[in-house]
C-alpha cells in the first residue's frame, strides 16, 4: 500500500506526541482518538499516526483489540512495509549476532529492540522458532518467513503461539511448522561449554532461554569445587554451566519432569552426569524440605518464572521473591554465594533488589552484592521501553 492509501489514526490533544518523536514505540488505546473509522481498522493493518495537529508522526501497526493499539514500525511515513523491509531488519539483526557468537544459537530478533515490534525469533542452528506476538506480524507472517529463510538460510521454521502476549493481542494459540520438517526430538545446543537439550515443540516458550547465558557464565566463575543448588532449573540452566566449569556437584530442582529429563540428557551430553542430580517438586516445598534436612551448598541459584508479569501482580510477586530469598539463604554455606533472578518486567531492579535483601535479612544472614547481571546482548534493550529490560540477576556473597 502507498502512504496516501493508508488509514490514519490520531493522538488525543493531551497525548505525549514528543515521546513518539523521541523514540517511544507504543501508543496505548487511551492516547488515541477512537472514532468509528479507527475502530473499523482491521487488526494488524498499517496506518499513519498523526499528532493532534494532524502532523504525521510515524508509520504504525494497529490493533484496536489490544491495549497497545499502535506499535511504531517506522518514523518515515513513506516506508513500504513489505518483504524487502523485513529483510533489512533481519539482516541488521543477524549482523549483530554474527559478531557476538561463533555458532548460530541465539535470539535473532528481540521485538521492538530489533525494529520488529512484538516479534521474537530464537535460532537453533538450522531451525528457527518464531513467536509473532503482535497482530501485524501474524498478518505478514508469510513474508516474514520468506525473508527469514532468505537472510539466515535456515531449513526449518516453527511457529510458537503459546504465552500470554498473543492472548492480549486477540491472537490464537495454535503452534505449527511453517517451513520444512519439525525436529523429531530435542536439539543439542552448545552454550557456556555445556550442551543443553532444547525441546522446540513441547518445551517452554521457544525451547531454551538464551537470555541467561552471561549470568550462567558468571555463576560458573563462582562454582569451582562447589556444591551447587539450581532451583527452577528448567533444562539444566545454571547447573550444567557450573558443572562444566569445575563444580563438584549440582542438584537441579524443577516442577517439570520433562524439563528435568532434558536436563539429565544435557548432563550426559556434557559429560557431567556422574555429578548431577535432580529433584522434581514445587520449589518452595523443596527449599523448605532441604532446610529441614540441614542441607548446605556453596552456590545456590533461584531463577523462577515471572512472579510479577504485570503491575496488578507486582506486590504479590515481590512477596514471592522475598520468600524465595528467605528460604534459599539458610542453604548457603558461610562465604558461599546466592544468585536470585527475576524475569518480571513489572518489578524494577530496585524493587526486586529490596525484596531480595529483605528476604536474606529475615533469614538472619548478612550479604554483600558482588554482581548484577542482565540479559545477554542478543536480547538488546529498547532505550524507550523499560519492559525490554526484564531480566535481573543478583549475585550475593553471604
Catalytic residues: 343
**Treating both helix axes as pointing N-terminal to C-terminal, what angle do 257-270 and 237-244 enclose, rounded to 10 degrees?**
10
| Contact call for residues 277 and 252 (beta carbons, < 8 A) | yes
In the numeric block, which cell numbers belong to residue 186?
530435542
Q: How far apart are CA 302 and CA 305, in angstroms?
A: 10
Q: How far apart are CA 369 and CA 101, in angstroms?
A: 29
In the numeric block, which cell numbers belong to residue 302?
533461584
In the numeric block, which cell numbers belong to residue 99?
559478531
- Given CA atoms 14, 20, 21, 23 in this order, what sign does their dihedral have? positive
| Contact call for residues 112 and 382 (beta carbons, < 8 A) | yes
Q: Which of 74, 71, 44 is nearest to 59 (CA)?
A: 74
HSE-up (13 A, CA, CB side) for residue 241: 23
Amino acid at each position: 500500500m502507498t502512504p496516501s492509501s493508508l488509514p490514519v489514526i490520531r493522538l488525543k490533544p493531551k497525548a505525549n506526541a514528543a515521546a513518539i518523536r523521541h523514540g517511544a514505540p507504543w501508543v496505548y488505546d487511551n492516547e488515541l482518538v477512537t472514532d468509528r473509522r479507527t475502530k473499523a481498522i482491521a487488526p494488524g493493518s498499517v496506518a499513519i499516526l498523526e499528532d493532534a495537529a494532524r502532523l504525521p508522526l510515524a508509520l504504525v501497526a494497529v490493533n484496536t483489540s489490544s491495549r497497545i493499539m499502535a506499535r511504531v514500525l517506522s518514523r518515515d511515513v513513506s516506508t513500504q512495509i513489505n518483504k524487502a523491509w523485513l529483510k533489512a531488519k533481519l539482516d541488521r539483526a543477524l549482523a549483530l549476532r554474527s559478531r557476538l557468537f561463533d555458532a548460530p544459537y541465539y535470539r535473532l530478533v528481540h521485538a521492538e529492540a530489533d525494529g520488529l515490534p512484538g516479534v521474537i525469533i530464537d535460532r537453533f542452528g538450522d531451525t528457527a522458532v518464531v513467536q509473532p506476538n503482535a497482530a501485524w506480524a501474524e498478518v505478514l507472517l508469510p513474508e516474514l518467513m520468506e525473508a527469514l529463510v532468505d537472510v539466515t538460510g535456515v531449513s526449518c521454521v516453527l511457529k510458537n503461539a503459546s504465552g500470554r502476549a498473543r492472548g492480549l493481542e486477540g491472537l490464537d494459540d495454535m503452534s505449527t511448522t511453517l517451513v520444512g520438517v519439525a525436529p523429531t526430538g530435542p536439539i543439542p545446543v552448545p552454550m557456556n561449554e555445556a550442551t543443553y537439550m532444547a525441546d522446540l515443540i513441547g518445551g517452554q516458550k521457544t525451547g531454551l532461554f538464551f537470555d541467561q547465558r552471561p549470568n550462567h557464565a558468571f555463576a560458573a566463575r563462582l562454582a569451582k569445587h562447589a556444591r551447587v543448588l539450581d532451583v527452577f532449573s528448567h533444562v539444566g540452566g545454571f547447573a550444567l554451566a557450573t558443572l562444566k566449569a569445575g563444580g563438584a556437584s549440582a542438584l537441579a530442582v524443577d516442577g517439570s519432569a520433562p524439563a528435568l529429563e532434558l536436563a539429565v540428557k544435557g548432563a550426559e551430553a556434557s559429560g557431567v552426569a556422574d555429578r548431577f542430580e535432580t529433584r522434581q517438586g514445587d520449589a518452595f516445598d523443596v527449599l523448605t524440605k532441604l532446610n529441614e534436612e540441614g542441607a548446605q551448598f556453596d552456590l545456590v541459584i533461584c531463577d523462577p518464572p515471572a512472579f510479577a508479569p504485570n503491575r496488578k501482580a507486582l506486590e504479590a510477586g515481590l512477596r514471592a521473591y522475598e520468600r524465595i530469598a528467605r528460604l534459599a539463604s539458610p542453604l548457603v554455606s558461610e562465604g558461599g554465594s546466592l544468585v536470585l533472578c527475576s524475569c518480571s518486567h513489572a518489578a524494577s531492579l530496585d524493587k526486586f533488589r529490596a525484596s531480595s535483601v529483605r528476604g536474606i535479612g529475615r533469614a538472619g544472614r548478612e550479604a554483600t552484592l558482588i554482581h548484577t547481571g542482565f540479559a545477554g546482548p542478543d536480547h538488546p534493550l529498547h532505550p524507550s521501553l523499560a519492559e525490554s529490560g526484564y531480566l535481573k540477576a543478583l549475585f550475593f556473597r553471604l
